[in-house]
Amino acid sequence: MIRFDRVSKRYGNQDALSELNFEMQTGEFAFLTGHSGAGKSTLLKLVMLIERPTRGQVFVNQLNLNRLSDRQIPSLRRNVGVVFQNHQLLNDRNVFDNVALPLQISGYQGKDMGRRVRAALDKVGLLDKEKQLPVALSGGEQQRVGIARAVVNKPALLLADEPTGNLDPELSAEVMNLFDQFNQVGVTVLIASHDIALIRTMNRRVLGLADGKLVHDGELPSRSTGSRNADG
């Protein structure tokens, strides 16, 4: 589903990522971790073509993104859902309209759109909140609206950048369980997170970055071994 082949990304005279190689199979679930500035967001941006690599090649779904023209980017993005830390919801639109946004961009209307929006809201447990404005929701609920919006197009790949950054441990665990549920129905999931304690509870693959390089790949050792390699 995702393959990085000797990928480097340089901003000015600084390497955000250098010579990065890794692969994620369809249906996998992985965390991306590392210190602030390690390159996590940059990696996600390359997968979404918000940024392009300075060197190397990124493949998404067998597609070499270097060969994708700017005109083809929207069709790539329809197949990739993204969840951000700060939700990025439109505060003057209700929950339904926020979740409907990607569908409107894809040309959906009317009943078809309503059915899909409600299916997404149902999956995140917010069917009864569709008329509310985001400000009327709790932080955890707002993040679930962000997740519903990310999955409403039924993407094969779900990316998240610090999706639990503003949430307490209980709500964070709920949000992670939602990602787990989407993964169980076949969605490939890649989550950038600092929350090592939460990541440990998930027993999933962890890609650890430090200074733009991959320094860990695999499940985190249990706390008792004392290794904090990927903690950043």
Dist CA 58 CA 5 (whole Å): 6
**In sequence order, what are the beta bridge partners of 4?**
22, 58
Report in angstroms how near the CB of residue 117 gets to ligand ATP at its nearest.
30
Binds ligand ATP by CB under 6 A, chosen from 6, 11, 74, 122: 11
CB of 16 to ligand ATP, least distance (A): 3
**Packing angle of the helix pair 110-123, 95-105 (nearest 10 deg):** 120
Whether 190 contacts 24, CB under 8 Å: yes
Looking at beta carbons only, is 39 or 134 nearer to ligand ATP? 39
Size of the site for ligand ATP (CB under 6 A): 12
Among 16, 46, 198, 202, binds ligand ATP (CB under 6 A): 16
Q: How far is the CB of 91 from ligand ATP (least distance, A)?
A: 23
* Closer residue to ligand ATP (CB): 34 or 53: 34
Token pair of 117 as six digits: 């929006």
18-57 footprint of ligand ATP as x/- string (CB under 6 A): ----------------x-xxxxxxx---------------
Q: Which is nearer to ligand ATP, 126 or 207 (CB)?
A: 207
Residue closest to 47 by CA, chosen among 62, 60, 35: 60
Question: Scanning the structure block, which residue is given the tokens 């903690």?
Answer: 231
Stretch that binds ligand ATP, among 9-17, 59-67, 69-77, 127-135 (CB under 6 A): 9-17
Buried/exposed code over 141-172 (b: 16+ C-beta within 10 A; e: otherwise): bbbbbbbbbbbbbebbbbbbbbbbeebeeebb
The least CB distance from residue 85 to ligand ATP, in Å, is 9
C-alpha 51/C-alpha 62 separation (Å) is 18
What is the closest distance, in whole angstroms, from the C-beta atom of residue 115 to ligand ATP in the complex?
36
Site residues for ligand ATP, 84-103, by CB under 6 A, read none
Give backbone dihedrals phi and psi of 83, rounded to 5 degrees, phi first: -120, 130
Considering the complex, what minimum distance in angstroms separates the CB of residue 189 from ligand ATP?
17
165 binds ligand ATP (CB under 6 A): no
Residue 221, burial from CB neighbour count under 10 angstroms (0-12, 13-18, 19+): middle
Q: Which residue ranges make up the site for ligand ATP (CB under 6 A)?
A: 11-12, 14, 16, 34, 36-42
